[in-house]
Amino acid sequence: MKISVIIPMYNEEENVIKTIQEVDAVLKTYKNYEIIAVDDGSFDGTFEIASNVALENHNVHVLKHSSNCGMGKALRTGFKKAEGDIIITIDADLSYDTCYIPKLIDALDGETDIVIGSQYMDGGKTEDIPRLRLFISKMANKIVGYAMANNVSTVTGVFRAYRREVLDSIELDSNGTEINPEILSKANAIGFSIKEVPVTLGGRKFGESKVKIKSTTISHLLFTFNEKPMVLFGAIGFILLFIGSVSALYLFYQFIMGILDPTRPLMLFMVLMILSGIQILVFGFVATQISLLRREVYIVQKENKLLRKKLK
């Protein structure tokens, strides 16, 4: 059994050596392993430092993007290069301690295909995380988790272990951090089992965080609406219906009191709100059916991808 650890890096010159050394120290007990550092277009010394480490350690491989493409693209590049039967992804800043890597590997038993290092499940915890970042992270995981079919408390984290078959069976499209929930969504849709183990998420000690709060929040919201369209269409539809219903009650009250003027704009407003609300709810229902049909597409993609691998 070979283990591949993929580390996406972007301007991490302060963390490169320490991260690779700590991952390497943990993996030595497994003997057959590789560490794949993917430099995602860094403009500091990340690539040069990682390349020097690779010259001294034949288990380390360094890949490079000519420009910054995002975590998702970096992980996809690493997945293509990885040769392991078990593939692990981890942040470059050691916010997740490498001592949890064996814990993730051990949890990949005969019934589990994906193991997530979860700081938000019972037993998991966070330390030294800025309050704003922690709040946004918790909210993102709750919102995106609500859109997922399975009960997973940490859906946006990168610290995970996969069986090779999982990544060989799904087509990945995301370039940003939304690749993490995308993998879970598609893997769950075609029947792979997911498990969480408690870990501690610590604050970054060196360098600056590369997470862009605005773009990350928007991408996760879009992912949620794509997974469960009724979250968006349902909310808007019910709000319009509520406004239309309140308007109708007010007009009915005026009718009872004998002061109703049928030429008032409120009459047209009420009709528009009710009809718009119903129409948007219908759109939500149709979008939900399309979302469910995508699962069949994922199954076909799995079969095609595995077939192409066999033919190669």
Distance, in Å, from the CA atom of 168 to the CA atom of 4, rounded to the nearest integer, reads: 14
Confidence tier at 136 by pLDDT (50, 70, 90): confident
- Residue 169 resides in a domain: yes
Looking at the 3D structure of the chain, how many domains does it have?
2
CA gap 137, 157 in Å, rounded: 9
For residue range 244-278, what is the model confidence (pLDDT) as tens digits? 999 989 888 888 888 877 777 888 898 999 999 99
Same domain, 197 and 280: no
Same domain, residue pair 146 and 290: no
Instruction: List, in order, residues 6 or more apart from 104 with CB less than 8 Å away.
Output: 88, 115, 117, 159, 160, 161, 197
Choose one of 154, 176, 209: the last residue of a domain: 209
Query: Mean pLDDT of all residues in the chain?
Result: 86
Q: What is the mean pLDDT of residues 287-294?
A: 77
The tokens of 25 are what?
Answer: 């120290």
pLDDT digits (tens, 9 = 90+) for 191-234: 889 999 999 998 766 656 656 666 667 766 777 777 778 878 88
Cα separation, 159 vs 94, whole angstroms? 10
Domain hosting 61: range is 1-209
Whether residue 189 has pLDDT greater than 90? no
Percent of the chain clearing pLDDT 70 (strictly above): 93
> What integer pLDDT is reported at residue 103 of this predicted model?
94
Q: Is residue 141 part of a domain?
A: yes
**End-to-end CA distance of the chain, in Å?**
21
pLDDT band, residue 10 (cuts 50/70/90): very high
- State which of 181, 209, 237 marks the end of a domain: 209
Mean pLDDT over residues 48-52, rounded? Answer: 94
Q: What is the pLDDT of residues 74-133, one digit of tens each?
A: 999 999 999 999 999 999 988 898 999 999 999 998 789 999 999 988 888 888 777 877
Split at pLDDT 50, 70, 90, the class of 241 is: very high
Q: Are residues 69 and 144 in the same domain?
A: yes
Task: State the number of CA atoms in the 13 A half-sphere of 172 facing the CB.
Answer: 26
Residues 113 and 163: beta-carbon distance below 8 Å: yes
pTM over 0.75: yes
Using CA atoms in the order 76, 77, 78, 81, what is the torsion angle rounded to 10 degrees?
Answer: 120
Asked if the structure places residue 220 within a domain, the reply is no
pLDDT higher than threshold 70 for residue 49: yes
- Tens of pLDDT, residues 158-173: 999 999 999 988 888 8
Q: Are residues 26 and 62 in the same domain?
A: yes
Out of 174, 209, 244, a domain closes at 209
Provide mean pLDDT across the span 140-144.
Answer: 78
Same domain, residue pair 234 and 201 = no
Q: Which tens digit of pLDDT belongs to each residue from 52-77?
A: 999 999 999 999 998 989 899 999 99
Are residues 202 and 238 part of one domain?
no
Residue 222, domain member (yes or no): no
